């Protein structure tokens, strides 16, 4: 493994309180973004979601997947696998041996997905991790990062170009923070987890509000209309949005939400306060673009 990758792994190991799995995943994520930046990918698509917040805006939680969206629907079929060659070449140039494959879809959706897989123990040892860390990793453990791209994006997003310094300087196109906030509120309001709540959505919601990020309400409306969650004739007003959010807050099991997010954060004390009352307080501090 190249020194730049080892240094990146060491940095992420510290950032993740010694979790080799998370450090390896984040190292692969960073090099994957670098590989994509060497192609035309970011002229067609933008980076968004929790990992974008983590890498670009210092979100204090681990995020597993790399999420992207086309800038606009394309006339021809978008082929995620056309980027596998450059991805593998980039990762191999830093000393990684990976397998990249498309995810088999049981139903047709606008989401294209792929997995990057790497032998966890081999790569952690190659990164020079202490034996106290590498020895407890199962010999068959596999690090798996999912790439997803939405090929039918909702209208109204705006974008920024952001520079990343490691492992070498490069840039990516990403949703602006207000557009990222809209995507997060879409998830908070409409995510259809039947048996449990995704606490990571609520963690990120609070993050945006603490950062005083304005919410791009027209983009949120477009996302909600696209999935028929909001179907009223009138535009989505702030008052209507807040009523929808208040209703959602009052139905969430926040103890279950804490359980979901706890493995992804370093300090569980920061979510001890979670309750409907706390998130109503967060809601009252939302500002708008």
Whole-angstrom CA distances from 37 to 34, 170, 199, 281 are: 5, 7, 31, 40
Q: Which domains does the chain have, with CATH numbers?
A: 3-175 (3.10.450.620), 177-288 (no CATH)
Work out the widest C-alpha separation in the chain, in whole angstroms: 62
Phi/psi at 66 (nearest 5 deg)? -110, 115
The tens digit of pLDDT for each residue in 27-50 reads: 999 999 999 999 999 999 999 999
Q: Does the predicted model carry a pTM greater than 0.85?
A: yes
pLDDT value at 194 more than 80? no
The tens digit of pLDDT for each residue in 230-285 reads: 999 999 999 999 999 999 999 999 999 999 999 999 999 999 999 999 999 999 99
């Amino acid at each position: 493994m190249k020194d730049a990758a080892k240094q990146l792994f060491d940095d992420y190991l510290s950032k993740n309180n010694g979790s080799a799995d998370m450090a390896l995943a984040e190292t692969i994520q960073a090099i994957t973004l670098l590989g994509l930046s060497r192609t035309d990918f970011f002229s067609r698509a933008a980076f968004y979601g929790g990992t974008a917040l983590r890498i670009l805006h210092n979100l204090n939680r681990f995020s597993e997947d790399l999420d992207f969206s086309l800038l606009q629907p394309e006339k021809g079929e978008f082929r995620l696998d056309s980027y596998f060659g450059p991805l593998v070449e980039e990762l191999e140039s830093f000393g990684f041996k990976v397998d990249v494959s498309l995810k088999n879809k049981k139903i047709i959706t606008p989401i294209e997905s792929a997995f990057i897989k790497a032998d966890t123990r081999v790569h952690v040892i190659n990164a020079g991790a202490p034996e106290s860390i590498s020895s407890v990793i199962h010999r068959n453990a596999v690090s798996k990062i999912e790439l997803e791209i939405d090929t039918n994006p909702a209208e109204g997003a705006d974008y920024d170009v952001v520079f990343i310094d490691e492992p070498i300087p490069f840039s990516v196109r990403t949703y602006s923070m207000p557009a990222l906030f809209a995507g997060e509120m879409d998830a908070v309001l409409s995510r259809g987890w039947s048996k449990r709540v995704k606490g990571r959505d609520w963690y990120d919601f609070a993050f945006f509000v603490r950062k005083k990020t304005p919410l791009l309400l027209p983009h949120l409306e477009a996302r909600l209309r696209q999935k028929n969650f909001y179907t009223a004739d009138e535009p989505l007003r702030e008052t209507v949005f807040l009523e929808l959010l208040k209703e959602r807050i009052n139905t969430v099991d926040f103890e279950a939400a804490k359980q979901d997010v706890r493995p992804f954060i370093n300090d569980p004390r920061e979510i001890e306060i979670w309750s409907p009352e706390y998130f109503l307080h967060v809601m009252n501090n939302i500002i708008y673009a």
